[in-house]
Chains A and B, each alone.
Chain A
Amino acid sequence: MSSHLSARETILGDIRRAVAAYALSPLEPLPAKAQFAPRKEGSPEEEMERMLREVRRLNGQAQRIGGRDEFAAAMTGLVRNEAVRTAAFSDHPLLEPYGVAEILKDLGVRLLPPGPDGRRLAECDLGMTVADAAIPETGTVLLRTTKGQADHLSILPRIHLALVCPAAFLPDLHQAFALAKGDRHFVLVSGSSRTADIEKVLTLGVHGPKSFHVWICD
């Protein structure tokens, strides 16, 4: 090992020599075969059904929400069924028309403001986020990390609720990446935290949220 060369120089030099035969071939265009044709989407109704079905297939819960009244009713159901005492929600504008804070306060739920130190959410029951996009093919929601919608919001609370608009449905991963690839951090969430590490028995809620809800807001 050369002592006068840095590790970086040694490694890059070794690699350069190893693939010297390819040194002059251009990087672009990438292998044509790499452009695997993304999936073609169905009709809006088909995509809606697909999203609902795929989320449920991954042991998540999914439903359509009409206006503010339906939202309030669904929230009441969620709070009661899952014994929600504390909640935090993102500052995404999509949530404003629903008056989330009032609904939760009326249900006696204590609100934790989404602040910089995400650790406070460790004991929070419900984390509510807005998905920037969804991929019905796999029941996936795309959550772009921002100041008002930190990563902690969707991973620490024991219940994760993601709201998404049908207008934000995308056919495939390729489009989701085109949207978010410039971000410093984003996640694709598909279903509940799960494992089959113990005798191949599927169990939910390992480290991530134990229950995952997707509400599709028309």
Chain B
Amino acid sequence: MEKVQLFVTCMGENLLPDVLQKMVLLLERLGVSCGFPEDQTCCGQPFFNSGFQKEGRKMALRWMAAFADTEGTIVAPSGSCIEFVKHRYPAMFPPGSAEHELALRTAERVMEVSQYLVNALKVTDVGAFFPHRVVCHSPCHLTRGLGVRNEPLELLRAVRGLELVPLEAADTCCGFGGIFSVVYPEVSRAMMASKLEQIVASGADVVIVSEPGCLVNVRGGLRKIRSDVRAMHLIEVLAEGGAS
């Protein structure tokens, strides 16, 4: 039986626990058993990317320790967290050191969830049913960082009843950018407003935002403008209508 370790992400765990629950149930439905290393907290990205690299490194070591005695692919519903572990962790430690070796081994194990479904499980049709008009935002770290561009679309196209329409400037940043959203809030707001404008103009009922930070950003933005458009993680759509 396939086994994965859950990388829940600090934002996911605290702000989007339903997405995590649905991810577990979806994976189990597909025959994958899940482990959850309980010592995990945050991978350190918010610190490291804000310039607090010493703090970020300490968190990385703790995070790797939490997963060290486990086996199997480490899966997260977040391209940015996966990208951080995959590309940044090895670069944090001097080549040849024990930490570097551990980081390389850990980096090999991590996958974002749509990446995992399509490339590892070789599944695109998860049996979902979601009869809505949908647009898909392209999260920056998932696409440019990890190179995951087609997998979410393949999964969406296999959902019965789902009408996928193009989103104007889908790969333009939504304006979240981690601390950017609090360091330059007005610019962040303006970027978010552009993204919302394009989403609303598309005529879709739902926008897929498969990145916790971006999802929180866009969902909040849609709420503020009192839009009927729903922002959902890919997992939430894939969990719809499947046999439980």
Direct A–B touching in the complex (beta carbon < 8 Å)? no
Question: Which B residues are within 8 Å of any A CB, using their own CB?
Answer: none
Question: Which A residues are within 8 Å of any B CB, using their own CB?
Answer: none
